[in-house]
């Protein structure tokens, strides 16, 4: 009798604990599962993007052959005499991106070398937030700047420059991507071990010599990654070119001409009221697929280059 | 003897001259580097002053209380700023729980296997996808396949997907900064994993997560291309139904499926008109957008600086 009195409460306590443990365990598992679902939303987004682009373009490519798509020199899906050659959009994209890189690569590289090798801690603390602020400025505002400030300015220097051209937006886009290039390149250069700099200084090299002949070569793969990411940004940039480069597909590499990029074309069509399922509607998905493939390729390349320098040191 | 001395002195002079020359090179390069970085800041300043000079005549209460109009001088931003606010609230309630949960999962729960690698690669890749591609995804998936229409909810969800990588990356970074002993201390007093995460990890990483949310929301406010792609109307002379109503159930969700316009689209619309009077409106809108996004980004940067400075583990 006495033992029972002693035993029963104890058993009760243990079974209660076990039950509570089970509940706790179950709740933990449930929470982990929910969190995992949230993380899977990233995968779902990628899958959805790929599926939508492939699905809508597949109907487009039933009407338009791949040969025509890649060789025809005109892009006029909305005209009576419809042509579906992506080349004019590619030429516009390549030209504006090239101008942007001509601006951003030298300035971004010099800026990165300065930040990583020359700037004092204090200067860096001031410069980096400013660059970050620049990244945060909406692109539509830069479009205004390209159309109504930079282009009129350029027209004073180059008489006869049309008000829609690729030079102005290209330059503005270049200034926009300086921070992207300089921050990734700076990262790469700061990852170069101090001992290499000290070795160079010990040989009597100056800061400049050390930066250019020792640090920059050691960080090459990272700097290349920065350029590739810059190209990817330029190719995907939309509003600046849609506003300031005109929206006429034009197979030209002349920066003085107006032209449409892949992104500008998508904006132009989306602004109009195209019926769902028409060939014009599907053409923006084909153009989008092209853009996605280009940026995906560039991002992968940049990712690999970045991984290389992270492994090196 | 004296001849030898003279030549040594001469050599010394040559060496000194060389050192001076090299030091000068260093200084010159440092100046060029600073200048290269300042190009961005100068552009931002020029851009802001240009917008102010072009748009200051429109700065009055009417800008915020009037609907768009055919008369440039009477046109206002009422439907645009209300639209922006509503779209961003949808983005906020979608992107924050999803992004934070995904970040927590990847940092605290995810096992090291191929499955987690796939999610990681997806998040990195999504951050590099051009924003207009998200617009195409939304056009195909949300507008037509799911039948959400060209509405506030479609725009809000689209922008949520767009800023998801920003929220995830910032959440992960601030969680990673928390030392292991915080976790061990929680486990030592018998906390389960979720208790550890919700009471300690989320508590300590709150500031960093908030930084990411603010940066993401600033980006959502300024994004134009994806919202144009889903077909946001540019001439909206009405407000969506009010979310709050006087009679029970007090909350009304009809606004979610209402047509809308947002600030950057209104600016783009005014900018694409040939009439210069509308360009003045666009400039005024640009000032509003820049001030709000700079304030948001500035707050985020300041917050991060404070956290970095104050937390000593």
pLDDT digits (tens, 9 = 90+) for A257-277: 888 899 999 988 888 777 777
Question: What residues form DSSP beta bridges with B251?
Answer: B244
Give the minimum alpha-carbon distance from A116 to chain B in angstroms, rounded to a whole number: 11
Give the integer Cα–Cα distance in Å for B158 and A41: 13
- Please say if the pLDDT value at position A109 is more than 60: yes
In this predicted model, what pLDDT tens digit does every residue of A130-157 receive, in sequence order? Answer: 888 888 899 999 999 999 999 999 999 9
**Cα distance between residue A263 and residue A241, in whole Å:** 8
Say whether pLDDT at A53 is over 90.
Answer: yes
Using CA coordinates, name the residue in chain A closest to B39.
A175
What is the model's pLDDT at position A3? Answer: 46
> At what angle are helices A262-271 and A279-312 packed, to 10 degrees?
140
- The pair of structure tokens assigned to B86 is 């509503």
Q: What is the DSSP string of B28-82?
A: HHHHHHHHHHHHHHHHHHHHHHHHHHHHGGG-STHHHHS---SSTTT---HHHHH
Across the interface, of B23, B192, B290, the residue whose CB is closest to A141 is: B290
What average pLDDT score do residues A163-171 get? Answer: 92
CA angle in degrees (0–180, nearest 5) for B281-B133-B154: 70
Cα separations in angstroms, A25 against A22, A110, A290, B194 = 5, 56, 48, 10
Q: What average pLDDT does the segment B102-111 reach? A: 93
A137 close to B (CB below 8 A) = yes
Q: Are A70 and A86 a contacting pair, CB within 8 Å?
A: yes
Average pLDDT of the residues in B257-275:
87
Q: How confident is the model at residue A311 (pLDDT cuts 50, 70, 90)?
A: low
- pLDDT attached to residue A7: 54
Per the listing, tokens 């007090």 go with B250
Give A282-302 pLDDT, tens digit per residue: 889 999 999 999 999 998 888
Structure tokens at B285: 């809108």
* Phi/psi of residue B210, nearest 5 degrees: -60, -40
End-to-end CA distance of chain A: 74
Q: How many CB atoms lie within 10 A of CB B70?
A: 9
On whether the CB atoms of residues A298 and A235 are closer than 8 A, the answer is yes
Per-residue pLDDT at A76 exceeds 90: no
Output DSSP code: residue B273: S
Q: What percent of chain A lies above the pLDDT cut of 90?
A: 52
Q: Which of residues 8-27 of B touch A (CB under 8 A)?
A: 22-23, 25-26
pLDDT of residue A1: 44
**Residue of chain B whose Cα is closest to the Cα of A164:** B272
Cα distance between residue B168 and residue B175, in whole Å: 11
Asked if A171 and A198 count as a contact pair (C-beta separation under 8 A), the reply is no
User: Hey, are the CB atoms on B41 and A134 less than 8 Å from each other?
Assistant: yes
How far is residue B305's CA from residue B298's CA, in Å, rounded to a whole number?
Answer: 11
Q: Which residues on B lie below 8 Å from A182 (Cβ)?
A: 37
Residues 216-275 of A with CB under 8 A from B: 229, 232, 235-239, 242-243, 263, 266-267, 270-271, 273
Mean pLDDT of chain B: 87
Please state the rounded mean pLDDT for residues B298-308. Answer: 89
Q: Tell me the per-residue pLDDT of B112-156, one tens digit each, with 9 for 90 and over.
A: 888 888 888 889 889 889 999 999 999 988 888 888 888 899 999
Q: How far is CA B34 from CA A94, A111, A128, A184, B70, in A?
A: 30, 7, 12, 17, 46
Contact residues, B window 18-77, toward A, CB-based 8 Å cutoff: 22-23, 25-26, 29-30, 32-34, 36-37, 39-41, 43-44, 46-47, 50-51, 54
Tokens describing residue A258: 């107006």
Reported confidence tier of residue A2, pLDDT bands at 50, 70, 90: very low
For the stretch A10-44, what's the b/e string if a residue is b when 16 or more beta carbons lie within 10 angstroms of its beta carbon? eeeeeeeeeeeeeeeeeeeeebbeebbebbbbbbe
Secondary structure of chain A in the HEC alphabet? CHHHHHHHHHHHHHHHHHHHHHHHHHHHHHHHHHHHHHHHHHHHHHHHHHHHHHHHHHHHHHHCCHHHHHHCCCECCCCCCCCECCHHHHHHHHHHHHHHHHHHHHHHHHHHHHHHHHCCHHHHHHHHHHHHHHHHCCHHHHHHHHHHHHHHHHHHHCCCCCCCCCHHHHHHHHHHHHHHHHHHHHHHHHCCCHHHHHHHHHCCCCHHHHHHHHHHHHCHHHHHHHHHHHHHHHHHCCHHHHHHCCCCCCCCCCCCCCCCCHHHHHHHHHHCCCCCCCHHHHHHHHHHHHHHHHHHHHHHHHHHHHHHHHHHC
Q: Which of A288, A238, A294, A237 is nearest to A53 (CA)?
A: A288
CA angle B131, B132, B138 (to 5 degrees): 100
pLDDT, tens digit, for every residue of A204-249?
A: 899 999 999 999 999 999 999 999 999 999 999 999 998 998 888 8
Helix axes A167-190, A121-136, angle to 10 degrees: 140
User: CA of A176 to nearest chain B CA: how many angstroms apart?
Assistant: 7
Whether residue B124 lies within 8 A of chain A, CB to CB, comes out as: yes
Work out the pLDDT band at B169, boundaries 50, 70, 90. Answer: very high
Q: Is the pTM of this model over 0.90?
A: no
Residue A111 and residue B33: Cβ atoms within 8 Å? yes
Say whether pLDDT at B221 is over 90: yes
| Among the listed residues A236, A137, A121, A221, the one whose alpha carbon sits nearest the alpha carbon of residue A179 | A137
Let me know: does B159 contact B93? Beta carbons within 8 Å.
Answer: no
For residue A119, which phi and psi values (nearest 5 degrees)? Answer: -65, 140
User: How large is the ipTM?
Assistant: 0.87
User: Do A270 and B231 count as a contact with CB atoms less than 8 A apart?
Assistant: yes
Smallest CA–CA distance, residue B55 to chain A, in Å, is 12
For residue A84, list its beta bridge partners. A75
Chain A residue closest in CA terms to B193: A28
The answer, for B298 touching chain A at a CB cutoff of 8 Å, is yes
Distance separating alpha carbons of residues B169 and A277, to the nearest angstrom:
37
Backbone φ and ψ for A84, nearest 5 degrees, come out as -125, 60
């Amino acid at each position: 009798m006495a033992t029972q009195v002693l035993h029963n409460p104890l058993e009760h306590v243990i079974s209660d604990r076990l039950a509570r443990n089970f509940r706790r365990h179950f709740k933990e598992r449930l929470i982990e599962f929910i969190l995992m679902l949230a993380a899977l939303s990233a995968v779902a987004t990628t899958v959805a993007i790929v599926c939508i682009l492939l699905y809508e373009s597949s109907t487009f490519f039933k009407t338009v052959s791949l040969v025509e798509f890649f060789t025809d020199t005109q892009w006029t899906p909305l005209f009576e005499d419809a042509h579906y050659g992506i080349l004019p959009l590619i030429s516009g994209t390549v030209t504006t991106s090239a101008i942007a890189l001509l601006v951003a690569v030298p300035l971004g590289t010099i800026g990165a070398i300065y930040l990583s090798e020359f700037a004092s801690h204090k200067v860096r603390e001031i410069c980096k937030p400013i660059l970050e602020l620049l990244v945060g400025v909406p692109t539509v505002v830069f479009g205004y700047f390209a159309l109504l400030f930079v282009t009129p300015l350029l027209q004073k220097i180059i008489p006869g420059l049309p008000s829609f051209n690729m030079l102005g937006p290209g330059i503005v886009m270049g200034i926009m991507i300086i921070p992207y290039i300089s921050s990734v390149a700076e990262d790469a250069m700061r990852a170069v071990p101090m001992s290499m700099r000290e070795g160079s200084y010990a040989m009597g090299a100056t800061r400049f010599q050390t930066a250019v002949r020792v640090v920059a070569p050691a960080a090459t793969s990272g700097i290349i990654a920065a350029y590739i990411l810059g190209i990817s940004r330029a190719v995907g940039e939309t509003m600046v070119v849609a506003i300031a480069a005109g929206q006429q597909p034009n197979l030209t590499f002349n920066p003085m001409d107006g032209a449409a990029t892949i992104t500008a074309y998508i904006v132009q069509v989306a602004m109009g009221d195209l019926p769902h399922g028409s060939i014009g509607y599907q053409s923006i998905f084909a153009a989008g697929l092209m853009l996605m493939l280009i940026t995906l390729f560039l991002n992968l390349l940049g990712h690999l280059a970045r991984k290389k320098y992270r492994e090196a040191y | 003897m004296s001849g030898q001395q003279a030549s040594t002195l001469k050599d010394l002079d040559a060496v000194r001259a060389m050192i001076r020359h090299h030091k000068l090179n260093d200084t010159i390069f440092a100046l060029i580097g600073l200048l290269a970085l300042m190009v961005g800041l100068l552009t931002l300043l020029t851009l802001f002053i240009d917008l102010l000079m072009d748009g200051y005549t429109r700065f009055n209460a009417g800008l915020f209380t009037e609907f768009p109009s055919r008369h440039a001088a009477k046109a206002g931003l009422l439907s645009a700023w209300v639209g922006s606010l509503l779209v961003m609230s949808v983005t906020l309630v979608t992107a924050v729980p999803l992004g934070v949960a995904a970040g927590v999962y990847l940092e605290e729960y995810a096992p090291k296997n191929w499955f987690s690698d796939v999610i990681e690669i997806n998040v990195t890749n999504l951050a590099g996808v051009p924003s207009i591609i998200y617009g195409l995804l939304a056009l195909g998936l949300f507008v037509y396949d799911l039948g959400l229409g060209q509405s506030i909810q479609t725009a809000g969800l689209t922008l949520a997907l767009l800023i998801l990588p920003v929220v995830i990356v910032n959440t992960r970074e601030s969680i990673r900064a928390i030392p292991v002993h915080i976790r061990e201390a929680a486990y030592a007093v018998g906390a389960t994993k979720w208790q550890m995460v919700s009471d300690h990890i989320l508590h300590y990483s709150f500031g960093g997560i908030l930084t990411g949310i603010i940066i993401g929301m600033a980006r959502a406010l300024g994004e134009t291309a994806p919202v144009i792609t889903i077909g946001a109307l540019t001439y909206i002379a009405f407000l969506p139904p009010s979310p709050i109503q006087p009679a029970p159930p007090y909350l009304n969700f009809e606004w979610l499926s209402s047509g809308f316009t947002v600030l950057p689209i209104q600016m783009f619309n005014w900018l694409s008109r040939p009439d210069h009077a509308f360009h003045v409106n666009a400039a005024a809108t640009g000032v509003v957008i820049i001030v709000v996004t700079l304030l948001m980004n500035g707050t985020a940067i300041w917050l991060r600086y404070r956290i970095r400075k104050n937390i000593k583990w």
